[in-house]
Structure 1
Amino acid sequence: MPDRKKLEEQVEILRGQLDQNPPLSDEKREALEALIAKFEVQLELEPATQSPSIADDVNRAVEGFELDHPGIAGTLRSIVITLGNIGI
């Protein structure tokens, strides 16, 4: 399933962006780490059992990173599109 592979790649990009230690508050860093953990769980589930709420979580995260961290926000937007392609 190519979209799942693309999602895995995007999550890795997001992890790399986080590893570059951008100036994030502890709260934003923890929220992003929790979101990455949620993606990892979702990737292991069958598509039929995946929660559509993760897309809502990502959309909220985009809003939180848009102004100060546009690169992270862009990656998150790509993830939202991929989730939609997967049917989540």
Structure 2
Amino acid sequence: MPARELQEQLNTLREQLEQNPPLSQEERDHLQELMQKIDAQIKLETATQNTSLADGVNLAVERFEVEHPALAGTLRNIVQTLGNIGI
């Protein structure tokens, strides 16, 4: 089930953040906000498209890919899973 896969990827992202990578408070806040939106979407399990969520995660990938490639990789997986479940 794609929603379960998305939840696992979200958990991976949380674990990576718990390792305290060198992020500014603004970057941490941004990722926390995205994770809350993703969590809410998982809970809704709606089939309606929410492109703003995917767009937000894509922007985060671009923001973190140079300095935090592990975070960016996990975010890319989240984008892919969102696409697979039609979000």
Fold conserved between structures, TM > 0.5 = yes
TM-score after normalising by structure 2: 0.95
Q: Determine helix, strand or coil for the equivalent of 2:23.
A: coil
TM-score after normalising by structure 1: 0.94
TM superposition shift of 1:47: 2.0
Whole-Å Cα distance in 1 between the matches of residues 44 and 30 of structure 2? 21
Amino acid across the alignment from 1:18: L
Q: How does 1:1-88 map to 2 (within 5 A)?
A: 2-49=1-48, 51-88=50-87
The alignment covers a number of residue pairs equal to: 87
Whole-Å Cα distance in 2 between the matches of residues 72 and 14 of structure 1? 7
Unaligned ranges ≥5, structure 2: none
Whole-Å Cα distance in 1 between the matches of residues 36 and 48 of structure 2? 17
Unaligned ranges ≥5, structure 1: none
Q: Determine helix, strand or coil for the equivalent of 1:24.
A: coil
Give the RMSD, CA atoms, in angstroms.
1.0
Q: Determine helix, strand or coil for the equivalent of 2:67.
A: coil
Contact 1:47 1:86 in 2 (8 A): no
Q: Determine helix, strand or coil for the equivalent of 1:44.
A: helix
Q: Identity percentage over the alignment?
A: 57
TM superposition shift of 1:81: 0.5
